[in-house]
Amino acid sequence: MFHNIQHFLSPATAKGPWVWAYIGTAIAVGVAALFALMAVPPRYRKMVVVAITFIGGLYFSLEFLLPHGKHGIVGRFANGLTDAKPGVADWVMIVGAFTLLLGTSNLFQVHGKAVRKMSPGWYNSLAFFISFFLIMIFGFLKDAYLGKHGIAGSVGTASEQLFAILFNGFVQNLDAAMFSLVAFYIVSAAYRAFRVKSAEAGLMMVTAGIVMLGLVPVGTLITSWISPHSWLASLRLERLTVWILTWPSMAVLRAIEFGLSVGYLAMSLRIWLSLERGSFFDRQL
């Protein structure tokens, strides 16, 4: 019986008009669930969100931690959790789609208000709307005319070319320009960090100088007079750079990653158990 229900609820088995029936039903159920959640009194609404969050975290924790096997209640239960994982992953994708829609709606509200009131910098908001709709329209047209042997039809070819111009010609180049500006901030931060005011700052400056010189041909040339086969070969800048990056730097990076992992675990537990406090978590839903 459970298998039949699961087969009926699976959209992968739908064909023809049933696909639109599944889509319409899913939208109707989602809207009904949203209105039902909004109808719940505010003090109980947060309890519903906390309960759903706890159940979701409990599922993934049990699925990962419980031993799997064909024998025993625990093993069979863990196998059942694993079998349900694709369906749960679909729900995660659906929630992610809702968050994408929420973010897009928020952008439309903020930039629409700026264009309406002609506030300072409103032309940037107008550029956002133009770019958004151009990329969306030509992207949809390109995918709509995508055939088995590539883009089919003059509309599809023109849409693909215009999409390539917008994405490769504008978006990627603007991304490169934006990240290139970060280099100036990095130089400014490096200047402030390399001011020798203590022994630690001096050690960091010397280490950074060795690594930077060891990664460029000039650094290799500086210590090229040291024979690679002599007992002083370890003092060549390229070998010092490899040693610093392989041993001290790697140990520090692993320590930082370990600390970040512990903090990530603690933060995840606080969110899972609804213990987190802050401007968002204390807000009345």
Q: How many domains does the chain have?
A: 1
Q: How far apart are CA 201 and CA 203, in angstroms?
A: 5
Domain of 235?
194-239
Residues 6+ apart with CB under 8 A from 66: 74, 75, 77, 78, 81
Question: In this predicted structure, what is the pLDDT of residue 284?
Answer: 54
Residue 150 β-bridge partners: 147
- Per-residue pLDDT of the chain in tens (285 residues, 90 and over written 9): 444 444 555 555 556 677 778 778 878 887 888 788 788 887 787 888 888 889 989 999 999 999 988 888 898 899 999 998 888 888 888 888 888 888 898 999 999 999 999 888 899 999 999 999 998 888 888 877 775 555 556 766 788 888 888 888 888 888 888 888 888 888 788 777 777 788 888 888 888 889 988 998 888 899 988 888 888 888 899 999 999 999 999 999 999 999 999 999 999 898 888 887 765 555 554
Q: How far apart are CA 151 and CA 142, in angstroms?
A: 7
Evaluate whether residue 187 is within a structural domain.
no
Are 238 and 220 in contact by the 8 Å Cβ rule? The answer is: yes
Evaluate whether residue 224 is within a structural domain.
yes
Evaluate whether residue 28 is within a structural domain.
no
Q: How far apart are CA 63 and CA 78, in angstroms?
A: 6
User: Residue by residue, what is the 3-state secondary structure of 119-139?
Assistant: CCCHHHHHHHHHHHHHHHHHH
Evaluate whether residue 97 is within a structural domain.
no
Rounded to the nearest angstrom, the gap between the alpha carbon of residue 96 and the centroid of all alpha carbons in its chain is 11
Q: How far apart are CA 32 and CA 279, in angstroms?
A: 29
Evaluate whether residue 212 is within a structural domain.
yes
Evaluate whether residue 235 is within a structural domain.
yes
Evaluate whether residue 228 is within a structural domain.
yes
Q: How far apart are CA 33 and CA 48, in angstroms?
A: 12
Evaluate whether residue 61 is within a structural domain.
no
Q: How far apart are CA 86 and CA 90, in angstroms?
A: 6
- Taking alpha carbons only, the member of 285, 276, 271 closest to residue 54 is 271
User: Residue by residue, what is the 3-state secondary structure of 266-277?
Assistant: HHHHHHHCCCCC
